[in-house]
């Protein structure tokens, strides 16, 4: 590991202010920004992913934003490989670079490497998908709760692909999916990593989430989701902010209920993000307003 180069990884829940803080830090130190948000990669998803806007991107160069189409499969392992290729080029320009995002698995994939998962039979996945269609997601969730209570608490319970994956591994090995996700650090880097976590009072955060959702709706979130509706089965769109509107389009509930669920599910997502990142003892926690303190800790790592 080298102390000459430093990657600052800014993490935290949705709507806490990660983009603004990271831009300010990158401007101060002269670095560029890599997004580790698992939905900002997709060109067709703008409003619902809270991408940095044109003004923000003009202030600091952003990478890994608008790099893929929703028709492409892109996962945490591919992301880690792409960033491994990108970072040496960025470090040639400046010895401090930045990564920002709330997708914990993508951050972990790059920083630590992914736990090795057992191979599974594609026929089993097909069988589980049939069960999903025939019996519904709740039935699969019941099995997952019994088989793997740890992963059951961590997983996005509205995301059928994640639920199916957990059961796929369990039925193949007889061991819970969480058994294979121990998070042991296996990856070394030729640079240092400093993790900064952003947090704030929960009531304030939840209010910010509600306000952000109101703004997204005003900006045209419902219209964006309607355009993406034909692709709603794509993995990229199995996410809070779109699924609720797809259900509204399907007539499952009215617009008012869709907005209530958009806000509620976004708050729940933020809670899961905080749970994930607080388990990482390498994260140094700050409130977004503590910019000077963040600058000091970065400076201290540079010597």
Q: Are residues 103 and 144 in the same domain?
A: no
Structural domain of 295: 6-114+183-302
Q: Are residues 98 and 206 in the same domain?
A: yes
Q: Are residues 130 and 207 in the same domain?
A: no
Distance separating alpha carbons of residues 21 and 19, to the nearest angstrom: 6
Residue 50 Cα distances to 12, 42, 64, 271, angstroms: 14, 12, 14, 18
Pairing of strands 283-286, 6-11: unpaired
Distance separating alpha carbons of residues 240 and 221, to the nearest angstrom: 12
Averaged over successive runs of 10 residues, the pLDDT of the chain (303 residues) comes to 82 97 98 96 96 96 97 88 96 98 92 81 85 92 93 86 90 85 74 97 98 98 98 89 96 98 96 94 98 98 87
Q: Are residues 234 and 275 in the same domain?
A: yes
Tens digits of residue pLDDT in 107-145: 999 999 877 777 787 788 888 988 998 999 999 999 999
For residue 109, the domain's CATH number is 3.40.50.300
- Domain count of the fold of the chain: 2
**Which of 130, 150, 180 is the last residue before a domain boundary?**
180
What is this structure's pTM?
0.82
Pairing of strands 62-63, 6-11: unpaired
| pLDDT reported for residue 157 | 87
| Residue 129 forms part of a structural domain | yes
Q: Are residues 159 and 105 in the same domain?
A: no
| Residue 73 forms part of a structural domain | yes
Q: Are residues 218 and 109 in the same domain?
A: yes
| Residue 1 forms part of a structural domain | no
3-state secondary structure of 136: coil
């Amino acid at each position: 590991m080298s102390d000459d180069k430093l990657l600052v990884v800014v993490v935290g829940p949705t709507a806490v202010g990660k983009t603004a803080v990271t831009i300010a830090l990158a401007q101060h130190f002269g670095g560029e920004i890599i997004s580790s948000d698992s939905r900002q990669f997709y060109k067709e998803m703008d409003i619902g992913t809270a991408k940095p806007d044109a003004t923000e991107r003009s202030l600091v160069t952003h990478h890994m934003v608008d790099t893929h189409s929703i028709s492409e499969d892109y996962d945490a392992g591919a992301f880690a490989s792409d960033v491994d290729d990108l970072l040496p080029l960025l470090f040639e320009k400046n010895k401090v670079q930045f990564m920002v995002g709330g997708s914990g698995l993508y951050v972990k994939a790059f920083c630590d490497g992914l736990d090795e998962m057992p191979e599974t039979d594609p026929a089993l996945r097909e069988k589980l998908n049939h069960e999903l269609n025939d019996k519904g997601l709740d039935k699969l969730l019941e099995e997952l709760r019994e088989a793997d209570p740890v992963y059951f608490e961590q997983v996005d319970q509205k995301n059928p692909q994640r639920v199916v994956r957990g059961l796929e591994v369990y039925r193949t090995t007889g061991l819970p999916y969480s058994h294979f996700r121990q998070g042991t650090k296996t990856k070394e880097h030729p640079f240092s990593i400093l993790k900064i976590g952003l947090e704030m009072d929960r009531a304030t955060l939840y209010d910010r989430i509600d306000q952000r959702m109101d703004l997204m709706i005003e900006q045209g979130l419902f219209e964006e989701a309607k355009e993406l509706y034909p692709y709603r089965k794509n993995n990229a769109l199995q996410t809070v902010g779109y699924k609720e509107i797809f259900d509204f389009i399907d007539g499952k509930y009215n617009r008012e209920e869709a907005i209530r669920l958009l806000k509620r599910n976004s708050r729940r997502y933020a809670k899961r993000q905080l749970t994930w990142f607080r388990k990482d003892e390498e994260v140094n926690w700050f409130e977004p307003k503590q910019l000077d303190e963040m600058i000091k800790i970065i400076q201290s790592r540079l010597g």
